[in-house]
């Protein structure tokens, strides 16, 4: 999948966020707090090595990454 682009308004964002969590995706801000390098995650997604979703909510952009793939990349030392 690499990167999927999604545009939505604020009213739909909470429901879509819950859908992403159930689908195994986690926000870049949470991963960053957990010690992951967000810029490296983005680079891996652009290279097609990591599934990501780019959510445009109004003027705000939020990134979500596949949790399992991000953890494996972290264990391999790529992140």
Domain hosting 43: range is: 3-76
Domain count, the chain: 1
**Run of H or E including 63:** strand 60-66
Q: Specify the residue for token string 């097609």.
A: 48
Torsion, Cα 78 31 46 16, to 10 degrees, reads 150
What pLDDT, in 10s, does the model give residues 11-68? Answer: 888 899 999 999 999 999 999 999 999 999 999 999 999 999 999 998 899 999 999 9
């Amino acid at each position: 999948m690499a990167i999927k682009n999604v545009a939505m308004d604020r009213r739909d964002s909470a429901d879509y966020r819950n859908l992403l969590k159930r689908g195994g995706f986690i926000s870049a801000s949470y991963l960053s707090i957990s010690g992951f390098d967000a810029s490296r995650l983005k680079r891996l997604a652009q290279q097609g090595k990591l599934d990501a979703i780019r959510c445009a909510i109004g003027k705000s952009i939020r990134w979500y990454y596949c949790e399992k793939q991000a953890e494996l990349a972290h264990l391999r030392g790529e992140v």
